[in-house]
Structure formats: structure tokens, C-alpha cells
Chains A and B, each alone.
Chain A
Amino acid sequence: MILVFVEHDGLLPSRSSLEALTVAGRLAGSTGVPLEAILFGQDAAVVAVGLGAAGVATALTLSHESLDEYAPAAWGRSLGSLAAERGATVVLAAGSDRGNEVLAYASAMADAAMAANCTEITPGEPFLVTRQRWGGSLLEDARLDGSPRFLTIAEHAVEPETATAPTSVELIAVRPEPTAADLRVRVVGRVPPKAGLVSLADARVVVGGGRGVGADGFGQIEELAVLLGGAVGVSRVVTSAGWRPHAEQVGQTGTRIAPDLYIACGISGAIQHIVGCKAAKSILAINTDRDAPMMSKASYAVIGDLHQVVPAISAEIRRVTGR
């Protein structure tokens, strides 16, 4: 049996969990074993019934007043014990913050190895995986031993697919018994996102600024982002210089974005930045240097000084839309 930890918002599974289910579904199909899901929280069952479309045969729903809020150690403990109890051969999650965290706990508690951010799985003996290093700019072929095998699937590595043969999902409600020690780590408060701001990770358009923008040039970048209903993203140079908040950083140590269009202004394109924006459907690079590495990743380019090009684009949008 393959067990997948599914993250959700109370209504729907997260996109990265659907990606993980897609990989898990293929693995289950090729090895002829059933696919099971595990979901936490009061609304777990609501989400779980919809997982038949992803080929899930059985969903374990766990709810408990002290771990309905995220509690990584307790969630990892429950995941690990259910995997052992039900004889899972592979335990899999999204390579998201939570997916990597919960699987790290489950595998550490089981004293088993874990492979983070895999892009390919070749089941059998030996069991082989390809995983991302350096945020995905380098790949590692590795052998993963142990039973079960714990692994996460790199975000944006596959397109989520629905199963060829949708199933009806058997729901099993499990009452976890978290220990006080595991419950030391849990979310005790939340600060909601600022209203009206488009989140960088979800934006359809991201307007990015790099060193070339300069400390005082971000007004132009913001203006274009607002006109397009998008978000501002910046390179690491910009956050390290303190020009913009770190929350805006796109890259290996910042946010991974996947917009329809990424407009990269004055960004040369170090690999640490590229791994953060390579999931964009298209990239438009605006740069004075036509040999900048960013150009080789872009579908479209404007050669020129962003300080002239960006305001001209904003002016043209205003003219065309009459705003």
C-alpha cells in the first residue's frame, strides 16, 4: 500500500498534494498496490471524499481537538504509526514546507531514511529515486532503503492528473492519541495575510526586480505589478541589500513562483534565482545585456534600460485600457 499525506484548506487538497497524488497514483498503478491517503483536521472527510478522482481507494481522516491545528510532531507520529499498522511500503507527501516537515518527523521516529523533493521514482530492488539538489538546478540519483520508504515530491515537478479509473473512497475515521511531548510544537496563533495583496506564490503575473533596479527604482516595478494585478518579486541581491523585504524574494532561499508570466527586470539570472522562477509558464526578460543568463530562460525579451522600458509599458497599458 502507498500512503500519501494530503494537505488541504478544509475544502480542497493543495495543488502540491495533487501533484504528489499523481506521482503516487502512477507508482501504485505500476506496482499493483492500493493508494491510500491520510488527512488531518475537522474537515478532513469533506476533502477526502473527493480524492477518488485521484485514484485514492481509502482515506484515513484524523481529527482531535489538540491537533486539528497544525502540530508537526504529532501529525508525523500519527502518520508513522498508521503507515506501520497498515503495512505501507511507501509513504509520500508533497515537497512543501508541511510535507517535508511531517515526513521528516515520521521517518525520524521510525529511524528510517527520507528522500526530499524527488522528481522520479523507479520502484523495485533497489528502489531508486531522482531528487533535487540546489533547489533543482542539480539532480541526484539515489537509492532509498527501508520499510516503509519515506519520500516527498518536488513541487511543480509534474502536472496534477486525474486517475484513469476514478474510485469511490472508503473513509476511515481514526482517533489519534497525541502525547503531551509531541504537542509542544503546534500552531498557537495566526497572522492572516494583508488584505488586498496578491500572494507571490499564487500570482498570475509577477514583476521581478533585480540589482539593475537600484535602491530607489522599485516604484516603477510596483506600479506595473499593480496595473497587472500581480505581485512584486525580487532577487536575492535586493533583499540582502535591504532594499525590499525578504518575503518578496524569488529563488532557492525565497519563494518558488509559478505565474503565467514572469517579467524579470534587470535580473541577470543566477541559478539560485532561476530555480525560483522556472515554473513560470513564460518569462519576459527586460535587460540591457542581451547575453545575461536570464535571456536563455526567457521566451520574450526587451533589450533596454528597465528604467525607460518599464514606465513605457505602464503608460501603454494605461493608454490601451483607458485607466
Chain B
Amino acid sequence: MNVLVCVKRVPETGGRVTLTDDAQDIDTRFLGFTVSPHEECAVEEAVRIVGANGGAATVLTLGPEAATDQLRDAMAIGMDRAILLETDGRDWDPVATAAAIVDAVRAETEAGTTYDLLLFGNEAADSGDYQVAIRVAVALGLPCISGVKSLEIHDGVATARREAAGGWEVFEVPLPAVVSVREGINLPRYPSVPGRLRAKKKEIARSVPAPRPSGPTKLRLRLPAEQERSVEILGTGAEAAPAVVELLVRLGLVSA
């Protein structure tokens, strides 16, 4: 059972973001980097699947040399090897990203490694394109289940569930398959110190894909207009309760 997980290096934002002067990127001078939460879960899921079924788990990213940090993080929690599709660090659009991943998967096949399962995050935290996994599946002729929050692999069949209208939709596809997962499918483990040490010795295969811009074409980033809001302080501590309930009555949420 070979599993490939695709991740993307993104800045670790928390409070306000500021943009670079050319409005092409977030100013990351004071930010750390991570991968999207959905992808952290994809990595964890791959480690569990390979742990239960045997085989190898590979992590792939399209990004700058610095993205090797995120590849090492993934290997520290148990991914066996990594592939870096190295770029100059500028954003690639989703069509071009998917095409580069497809080429990498085909190159792996030619080199003798075939994957039973390709895992993605449902959408990248930064660009939020909601399409890379599906494009890869369409190009490779594989079935794809998106937005998965529960995954079972049994006898060459993937059974996946995703949330829909408060309940669940169940899908079942034969392997090989593409699955994009959402945070909540598992609780990712933290890397251990021995895990970090082992990760340093693991292989990172590198190649430089040719850029092939397709679209959408990013022109500039901007911050949404902040709504001016004046906050009405209803009170302090437990004494504020009557004022809160008056508000609830006024909003029609409590009938006195």
C-alpha cells in the first residue's frame, strides 16, 4: 500500500495580516510557516494507513527550497520519503499545480513506484482553490472523493464519509483513488524528538518543474474593507445578565 500526500507551505497567520508593497503576497517577515490544517490531517491519515496496511508513505510539495521544512515535519511524524517540486517561491495557479503533480506521479510510476492512494487537503488555507485534487484525479483517470472526514481502507476499497446537512454522505471507490480530507478526520500527532532525528536522514527527491501559467491569474491581493463597528458594552461580570437578556428579548430570541 503506497500513499502519496500533497501539502503546501503556507504562512502561519493568526492576527492581522499585512501585504508586501507590490501586493502580491502576505508580508511573511515576522511569520512562521506551516501546512494547511486539512493537510496536517492528510499526513496523519497516511501515516496511520501505512501503519495498519504496510507499504510506504511519501509526502510531496510544490514550493521553494524552504518548503523542505514542511517535508521534514511530515517525515518527523512518520512519512517515509519526500518529493520537492522546486519553484522560485511565487504562487502557482491551481491548473499548473495539478499538472506538475500529475507529471510527478507519472515519473514515479516510470521509476517503479505506483500509488494506491493520493491524499490532499480539501483546499489550501491560503489560495482556497478547491480543485487541485479533482484536477489530478481527472488527469490520471482516478476516482476522487472530496471533503472526507472519515476514511476506511479495506480489500482495495476506500469507504469515505463526509458531512452533509448535519448528517453524512457515504462514498465507496476502488483503489487506486484520490481522496481530499478535511480537518477533523483525525487529531494529528506532534512530532517526537527521535522522529525529528530520523526525518533528517530521510530522502528528499528534487526536481524543477517547468512553469506553465494557466489561471486564474493573480493580479493583486488586498485586505477586505473593515466594517466600522462600535461595540456596546452591556456590563461587567454576572451583573450584566439582565442587560443581556433584555437584548435577547429585543432580538426575538427569548420571549418574556
Measured CB to CB, the residues of A under 8 A from B are 70, 72-73, 95, 97, 100-101, 103-105, 107-109, 113-117, 128-129, 131-146, 152, 181, 184-194, 197, 199-201, 204-205, 228, 236, 239-240, 242, 245-247, 249, 252-254, 260-261, 270-272, 282, 284-285, 290, 293, 295-305, 308-309, 311-313, 315-317, 320-321
Contacts and interface: CB of A to CB of B under 8 A. Distances in A.
B221 A139 contact: yes
B170 interface: yes
Contacts, number: 262
Nearest to B215: A113
Contact of A321 (B139, B170, B232, B254): B254
B37 interface: yes
B138 A109 contact: yes
B20 to A, nearest CB: 12
Contacts of B222: 138-141
Given A73-B144, A296-B231, A317 B15 contact: no
B253 A308 contact: no
B245 A317 contact: yes
A204 B171 CA distance: 31
DSSP majority for the B interface?
mixed
A149 B128 CA distance: 18
Q: Which of A145, A246, A247, A298 counts the most B-chain CB atoms under 10 A from its CB?
A: A246
B245 A313 contact: yes
A320 B243 CA distance: 12
A112 B76 CA distance: 38
B26 to A, nearest CB: 7
Interface in B198-252: 214-224, 229, 231-245, 247-249, 251-252
Contacts of B139: 108
Contacts of B242: 316
Contact of B131 (A114, A228, A284): A114
Nearest to A182: B143
B130 A143 contact: no
B169 interface: yes
A301 B233 contact: yes
A190 B128 contact: no
B106 to A, nearest CB: 17
